[in-house]
Structure 1
Amino acid sequence: MKDNYFKQNGKFYYGWVNVLLAFLLMTFSYVSFLSLTTVFVIPVTTDLDISRSEFLLYSTILSISGIIALAVIGDRMAKGNIKRYMSAALALAGIAFLGFSQATEAWHFYMWSAAMGVSFVMTTVMPISVVLNLWFGGKIKGRAMGAAFTGSGFGGVMMIPIVNYIVTAFGWRIGYMVVAGIFLLLLLPLVAIFLKKFPEQKGFVRMGQKDDEKDFNSAGGMTLKEAWKNPMLYLILLSIIIFVFCSTGILMNSTAFYIDTGFSPANAALFASFTVGALIIGKLSMGWISDKFGAKAGAISACLIFSGAFLSLALLPINPWIFIPFVILCYGIGGGGITVNPPLMTNRLFGEKDYGKIISVLTMGNNIGGAFGGTVAAWIFDVSGSYRAFWIIAATAMIVAAAARIAAFRIKKKYE
């Protein structure tokens, strides 16, 4: 008989409400912090007469701030009242985007981006991974997380053209005000009312538990202290840093790159939204692959396919209309692994004993990569007048990331 993962004891399983909340957080919060940046690059730098790399330096500060926040409160958040932390972070994000809307110099963005970094790590991948891991076991976890993380693709398709229209019609300051309103008037109330950390709060038990999975109170696996002594952690951390470094390079520069290639601003924003929107398919695919063939298959295939996106970007100026579909397809499928793979790799390689602490460390890898990808790509453009060198570097780096993941899983096999 086929498992029914939507009902438990005759009632709709509340874990899927958390999946929907996570989807909305990825749609609006994750996309606002990362994907929407591409819409503001040219309007802000033109209006304030600053270079692209000077403007995008704020993304580096945002990411470093997030790393510090994870180090200081990541474990406390994972173990404590996660709803309270997330609500405070959403309010802080709304205030910070309002601050962006009033900026008149580059350092104003830098100041507010420090607050954004704290908000970013407390409202996206890390808390979502922790909550969904508590609600879903190994039989369904990949698909649940894949469905939640598709929000970043859906948000890209929806928000990039809408915000681009607002920025074009009313100015970039109004654009930032609209984003602030989304955090304060939509996301904050939803999380405060509906988020539930534990299944027991709604009278359920964890869904889709595998036979070899244990109760969290007696969970097997490594402690964080043990993981720090194991090369698997460093290999996976390296692969995540590379992955996000490459991803933010295109996320924050895609619209500008497409305009430089010859597309109109409207078409450039449209293709940027398609690129991010393809993540809807990619994240569902990565969740299914990981559930069906294992976390290893999903983790490695994501790196290799993502490499193809950057190779296509390097070739795009030759014939934009031929290579743009390859960019969108490879970015969508491969990029789906950015958020889907790390929680599943954490569970497979390190177990559940210190899941919250280890996923916090790996989320720091997201921020380390995100701290430099967009800025380095913009700096290469400022120096050379082209993004091509960055695309080639990124394509090569993703092969290195795949090799690191292969090595990590081989080490795990020896332990088994």
Structure 2
Amino acid sequence: MGAMRKKRTIPRSRGAYWILGALFLLLAVNWGIVFNAHSVFVQPVQEALGTDRSAMLLAMVYRGLSAVGVSLAAGGLINRWGALGVLRVACVGLVLSFYGMSRVQTLGGYYFFTSLQVAFTILSGFLPCSVLVNDWFPGKNATAMSIAFMGSGIGGMVFNALCGRLLILKGWRETLMVLCWILALVLLPLAFFILRENPQTRVEYAVGPQVDAPGIWLREAIRTPQFWLLMSSFLVLAVTMTAPINNMTPNFQDLGWEMKTASFITSIAMLGMSLGKLLTGWLFDRFGLRATALFSNLTMMICLMGMIQGAHALGIAFTILGFTFSAGYVSMGVPVISDGLYGRKDFSRISGSFQAAYNVGTMVGPLMIRPLYVVFGGYAMAWTLFLVLLSANFLIYWRTLPGLMAKGDEDLAPSPEP
């Protein structure tokens, strides 16, 4: 368990909120495009490359492999080069990967560039952003983190709708070039000119392990059963939620909805996810780790039941409602639980380990979906299996997570500027 932290009052800083806004915008563009708007490209790319849905699902396996490898390395990279240094290089790489994707002619090229996109998005995504949030907002930072992280959902909503329209008007290659320009014009100025480390905590919180910070080291955490149970829970979380996110649009297309309608449903779900992140942050700060995890797990099950019945209006409503209240936990669970249980002494490596387990799940999910889709001709059997897996997570959360966060945490307030 993480060490108790002394309560302290930290003056508010206007500059810290500019950083929070910049992180919101960064995640809206990079995560919103690469992960939350990915599903709208599945069918157009499949048709253009002359392949089938099974081969497109295999792309998710390669994306998962890329995510696992990068997540395991990310903690060490951040400790060595700092969150901001890693983020800047990744933003440049992400722009170039979209340019390369727009030129692919083969399925192998598609696999290569989609894997690169995932790698660079993770290195410019939730992990470095959570380090910067911890840097500027020490204490009860779940609410601050939820504000930054809700950008990914807003971006998913915007880019699902935009890409759905552009794909019809211009085709997938030109749509990718439009996204390439958006990434360049938004991410590069943010990374190189707006975002910065907090000078007051740079040595302790932004670069290197936090030797004097409260908490424990990764080598201590891995000796506890709690750590490995949580690793398995994050794997299940990824299997049961990221596959539906990435296949939401094709799921509704298979159930008879036109692409424009299916992408609109996904866009509304992404808007719900953004609002849900604010709720998730508040729940973490108000009710603690266990209650928030259990609530999110239940609403994930509602989302999956809605996707099974997505041919009907009630199924769509259940999908959007369940997604709204659960998807925030998908992005916030790893950093908040890492910080809440193990502290900031070795936050980047512990969080990176949990993220790696999560990303193993993003690889396992498509492997499970692919044969079930082929055999049963749809996604319903996969979603049913995922409901069973989520039931197991209830027991893990009840066993490993405390009922309430430790008293004495600081109020949400950023560190002062010099």
- Same structural fold, with TM-score higher than 0.5 when normalized by the shorter chain: yes
- The one-letter amino acid of 1:232's match is Q
**Greater relative contact order: 1 or 2 (C-alpha under 8 angstroms, separation 6 or more)?**
2
Kindly state the Cα deviation for residue 267 of structure 1 after the two structures are TM-superposed: 1.0
Q: In 2, are the aligned partners of 1:249 and 1:376 still within 8 Å (CA)? A: no
Map 1:257-406 → 2, pairs under 5 A:
257-317=251-311, 320-374=312-366, 376-406=368-398
Q: In 2, are the aligned partners of 1:349 and 1:412 still within 8 Å (CA)? A: no
Structure 1 residues 249 and 69, CA, compared in 2 at 3 Å: closer, same or farther?
A: closer
Q: In 1, are the aligned partners of 2:291 and 2:403 still within 8 Å (CA)? A: no
- The one-letter amino acid of 2:184's match is L
Residue 38 (structure 1) aligned with residue 39 (structure 2) = yes
Q: In 2, are the aligned partners of 1:289 and 1:298 still within 8 Å (CA)? A: yes
Q: In 1, are the aligned partners of 2:93 and 2:120 still within 8 Å (CA)? A: yes
Matches of 1:375 and 1:53, distance apart in 2? 10
- Percent of residue pairs bearing the same amino acid type: 24
Matches of 2:188 and 2:394, distance apart in 1? 37
Q: Deviations over 1:106-139 (max 9, x none)?
A: 1011222332232022011111111111222333
Matches of 2:403 and 2:221, distance apart in 1? 12
Matches of 2:241 and 2:116, distance apart in 1? 22
Map 1:73-222 → 2, pairs under 5 A:
73-139=74-140, 141-200=141-200, 217-222=211-216
Q: Deviations over 1:305-352 (max 9, x none)?
A: 1111112222334xx112211110111111110112221111221122
Kindly state the Cα deviation for residue 240 of structure 1 after the two structures are TM-superposed: 1.3
Kindly state the Cα deviation for residue 255 of structure 1 after the two structures are TM-superposed: 1.2
Q: In 2, are the aligned partners of 1:278 and 1:329 still within 8 Å (CA)? A: yes
Kindly state the Cα deviation for residue 280 of structure 1 after the two structures are TM-superposed: 1.5
Q: What is the RMSD of the two structures over their aligned residues, measured on CA atoms?
A: 2.4
Matches of 1:138 and 1:173, distance apart in 2? 45
- The one-letter amino acid of 1:350's match is Y
Which aligned segments of 4 or more residues in structure 1 are displaced greater than 3 angstroms?
Answer: 410-413
Q: Deviations over 1:198-256 (max 9, x none)?
A: 25279xx99xxxxxxxx955222221001111111111111111112222221221111
Kindly state the Cα deviation for residue 304 of structure 1 after the two structures are TM-superposed: 1.6
Q: In 1, are the aligned partners of 2:99 and 2:176 still within 8 Å (CA)? A: yes
Kindly state the Cα deviation for residue 369 of structure 1 after the two structures are TM-superposed: 1.6
Q: TM-score, normalised by structure 1?
A: 0.88
Q: In 1, are the aligned partners of 2:68 and 2:360 still within 8 Å (CA)? A: yes
Kindly state the Cα deviation for residue 59 of structure 1 after the two structures are TM-superposed: 2.7
Kindly state the Cα deviation for residue 380 of structure 1 after the two structures are TM-superposed: 2.5
Q: Deviations over 1:250-304 (max 9, x none)?
A: 1221111112212222111100111122112210001001111112221221112
Q: Deviations over 1:151-206 (max 9, x none)?
A: 1211122110111111110001111112222222211221111112225279xx99
Matches of 2:189 and 2:245, distance apart in 1? 28
What's 1:4 paired with?
A: none
Q: Mind listing any 5+ residue stretches in structure 1 that lack a counterpart? A: 1-6, 207-214
Matches of 2:316 and 2:19, distance apart in 1? 35
Structure 1 residues 245 and 199, CA, compared in 2 at 3 Å: closer, same or farther?
A: farther
Matches of 1:251 and 1:113, distance apart in 2? 16
Kindly state the Cα deviation for residue 394 of structure 1 after the two structures are TM-superposed: 1.6
Q: In 2, are the aligned partners of 1:75 and 1:357 still within 8 Å (CA)? A: yes
Number of matched residues?
A: 393
- The one-letter amino acid of 2:43's match is I
Structure 1 residues 77 and 216, CA, compared in 2 at 3 Å: closer, same or farther?
A: closer
Kindly state the Cα deviation for residue 12 of structure 1 after the two structures are TM-superposed: 3.6
Kindly state the Cα deviation for residue 99 of structure 1 after the two structures are TM-superposed: 1.5
- The one-letter amino acid of 1:360's match is G
Q: In 2, are the aligned partners of 1:18 and 1:195 still within 8 Å (CA)? A: yes
- The one-letter amino acid of 1:306's match is M
SS of equivalent residue, structure 2 residue 138: coil
Structure 1 residues 216 and 252, CA, compared in 2 at 3 Å: closer, same or farther?
A: closer
- The one-letter amino acid of 2:215's match is G
Q: TM-score, normalised by structure 2?
A: 0.88
Structure 1 residues 345 and 369, CA, compared in 2 at 3 Å: closer, same or farther?
A: same
